[in-house]
């Protein structure tokens, strides 16, 4: 890549609260100050020639002429000095002019060393970064509704394109491998014990038992005739039918009564069930035999082609749903992303201790990245400056400092005129002695 080409000047950082000026604005300011300095020189020349050509014998005219004459000398001298920094005055190859183009390589090296030694030293960089609340700035920026809305819209627009460019088969296979390795890493029996313990402690198993009793009672009540008929069919033909009906009714009533009694929390069967479940939870966590059985069941399940096919089918359905829903609900996705970003910014901002820890980690990361590469950064700066052509370097520097250099011309004109006036007045006073 050829770097020897004119590069547009980038605006320098503006003071806090002020918007940085564009290169066009800087060029306009430079031209305006040049015009002012040149007009001041022209004014001095006009005054000098007017005072020299006048026939009036006013006593203050010689003093005004001396002021204008010295002002012209000062203006020309400072014009020469300012122009000699960047180019040859009037195009003449005068020695020790065009200082910047002739010393471009040395300027680049000096600039790289200056930044490396003064801005990227561990002490200076660390002290400067400690003054910057990077996390707080990022949090406040994200919390601003306009910024979070723009980021949300950008994320919603980018998501479908990013999803289209993702290799779905490879991603599906990767997610499958990750899920499989995760499942393989978790012991099945202890996990089942923990799940059962949570369900039992939260009363879910008790509620399930109550629902099972409700279902059993309702089923028995609905199928009384069917049960009576089955009892009659299985009974001896010598037993009267009415006897079979009485037996079936008593069996039904006994079962229903037992189910109603089991609803009581202190029922013996419930106590036995609690003991059995508690023992099962402990066994699932500690019994090697149950552990081996759980691992065997898990291995059979993972190796089952039906399971693998269902997993692939599930990923395909998820992928199709993502493609359809992202385009259909882009506005909703943008709002959700913006709300999530604002919540994240608030989360970063609300805890001073957490913000300090994150700032410290970010500061250490920046220092670890920058400081070992100080010499490379300095060499890069020197190389970039060296690769600029002379016109680019002069243009950049003039845009940055040219406006202030024109004040040197203006001050030189006025100060030179005052000095010349003082010298003329002193000479007149000495001649009058």
Which pLDDT score, from 0 to 100, does residue 38 have?
92
Checking if the pLDDT of 232 tops 70, the result is: no
pLDDT, tens digit, for every residue of 356-382? 888 888 888 888 887 788 788 888 877
Sketch the domain layout of the chain as residue ranges.
23-128+373-432, 180-324
Give the model's confidence band at 4: pLDDT under 50 very low, under 70 low, under 90 confident, else very high: very low
Which pLDDT score, from 0 to 100, does residue 42 have?
94
* Lowest model confidence (mean pLDDT) among 50-54, 321-325, 364-368: 321-325
User: How far, in Å, CA of 64 to CA of 431, rounded?
Assistant: 18
Checking if the pLDDT of 202 tops 70, the result is: no
Mean per-residue pLDDT over the chain, rounded: 76
Average pLDDT for residues 258-285, to the nearest whole number? 70
Checking if the pLDDT of 11 tops 60, the result is: no
Q: In angstroms, how far is CA 320 from the centroid of its own chain? A: 29
Angle between helices 23-53 and 61-86 (to 10 degrees): 150
Which pLDDT score, from 0 to 100, does residue 349 have?
80
Average pLDDT for residues 29-39, to the nearest whole number? 91
Give the model's confidence band at 326: pLDDT under 50 very low, under 70 low, under 90 confident, else very high: low
Checking if the pLDDT of 265 tops 80, the result is: no
Query: Of 75, 2, 152, 112, whose CA–CA distance to 420 is shortest?
Result: 75
Angle between helices 330-350 and 352-370 (to 10 degrees): 100
Residue 95, classified by CB atoms within 10 Å of its CB into exposed (0-12), middle (13-18) or buried (19+), is exposed
Give the long-range contacts of residues 12-20, CB within 8 A, separation 24 or more.
Answer: 12/400
Side-chain-side CA neighbours of residue 424 (13 Å)? 18
Checking if the pLDDT of 74 tops 70, the result is: yes
User: How far, in Å, CA of 289 to CA of 298, rounded?
Assistant: 14
Tokens 């997610």 map to which residue? 175
* Sign of the dihedral defined by the CA atoms of residues 148, 150, 153, 157, in that order: negative
CA distances from 184 to 178, 298, 341, 401 (A): 10, 8, 35, 67
Which pLDDT score, from 0 to 100, does residue 418 have?
93
* Max Cα distance, the chain (Å): 167
Residue predicted with more confidence, 92 or 275? 92
Which pLDDT score, from 0 to 100, does residue 15 have?
43
Query: Of 209, 211, 196, 204, whose CA–CA distance to 269 is shortest?
Result: 209
Which pLDDT score, from 0 to 100, does residue 204 have?
58
CA distances from 66 to 26, 47, 78, 185, 378 (A): 36, 10, 18, 97, 51
The two structure tokens encoding residue 187: 């012991």
Give the model's confidence band at 5: pLDDT under 50 very low, under 70 low, under 90 confident, else very high: very low
pLDDT, tens digit, for every residue of 101-129? 777 777 777 777 877 877 777 777 778 78
User: How far, in Å, CA of 420 to CA of 433, rounded?
Assistant: 20
The two structure tokens encoding residue 357: 């820890």
Tokens 């004459």 map to which residue? 69
- What is the value of pTM for the model shown? 0.44
Average pLDDT for residues 186-196, to the nearest whole number? 75
Query: Of 211, 161, 187, 197, whose CA–CA distance to 288 is shortest?
Result: 187
CB 189 within 8 A of CB 205: no
Which pLDDT score, from 0 to 100, does residue 336 have?
79
Give the model's confidence band at 9: pLDDT under 50 very low, under 70 low, under 90 confident, else very high: very low
Tokens 């050509």 map to which residue? 53
- Percent of the chain past pLDDT 70, that is, above it, reads 66
Give the model's confidence band at 238: pLDDT under 50 very low, under 70 low, under 90 confident, else very high: low
Q: Of the segments 51-65, 119-133, 143-157, 235-249, which one has the largest average pLDDT value? A: 51-65
């Amino acid at each position: 890549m050829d770097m020897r080409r004119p590069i547009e000047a980038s605006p320098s950082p503006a003071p806090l609260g002020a918007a940085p000026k564009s290169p066009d604005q800087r060029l306009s300011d430079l031209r305006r100050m040049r015009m002012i300095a040149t007009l001041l020189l022209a004014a001095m020349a006009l005054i000098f020639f007017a005072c020299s050509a006048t026939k009036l014998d006013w006593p203050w005219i010689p003093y005004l002429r001396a002021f204008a004459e010295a002002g012209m000398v000062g203006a020309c001298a400072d014009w020469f000095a300012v122009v000699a920094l960047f180019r040859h005055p009037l195009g003449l190859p005068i020695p020790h002019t065009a200082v910047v183009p002739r010393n471009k390589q040395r300027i680049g090296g000096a600039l790289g060393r200056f930044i490396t030694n003064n801005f990227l030293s561990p002490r200076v960089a660390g002290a400067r970064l400690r003054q910057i609340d990077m996390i707080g700035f990022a949090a406040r920026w994200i919390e601003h509704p306009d910024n979070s809305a723009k980021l949300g819209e950008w994320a919603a627009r980018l998501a479908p394109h990013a999803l289209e460019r993702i290799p779905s088969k490879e991603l599906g296979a990767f997610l499958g491998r990750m899920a499989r390795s995760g499942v393989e890493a978790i012991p099945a029996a202890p996990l089942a014990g923990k799940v059962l313990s949570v369900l039992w402690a939260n009363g879910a198993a008790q509620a399930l038992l109550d629902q099972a009793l409700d279902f059993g009672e309702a089923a028995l009540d609905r199928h009384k005739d069917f049960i009576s008929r089955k009892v009659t069919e299985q009974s001896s033909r010598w037993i009267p039918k009415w006897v079979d009906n009485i037996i079936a009714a008593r069996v039904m009533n006994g079962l229903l009564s037992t189910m109603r009694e089991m609803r009581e929390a202190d029922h013996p069967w419930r106590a036995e069930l609690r003991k059995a479940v508690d023992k099962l939870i402990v066994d699932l966590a500690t019994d090697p035999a149950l552990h081996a059985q759980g691992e065997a069941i898990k291995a059979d399940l993972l190796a089952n082609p039906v399971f693998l096919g269902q997993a692939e089918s599930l990923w395909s359905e998820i992928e199709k749903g993502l493609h359809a829903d992202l385009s259909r609900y882009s506005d909703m996705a943008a709002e959700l992303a913006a709300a999530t970003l604002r919540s994240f910014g608030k989360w970063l901002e609300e805890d001073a201790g957490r913000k300090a820890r994150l700032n410290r980690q970010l500061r250490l990361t920046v220092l670890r990245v920058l400081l070992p590469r100080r010499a490379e950064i300095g060499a890069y700066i020197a190389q970039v400056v060296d690769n600029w052509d002379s016109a680019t370097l002069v243009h950049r520097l003039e845009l940055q400092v040219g406006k202030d250099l024109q004040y040197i011309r203006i001050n030189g004109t006025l100060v030179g005129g005052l000095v010349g006036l003082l010298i003329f007045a002193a000479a007149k006073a000495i001649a009058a002695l």
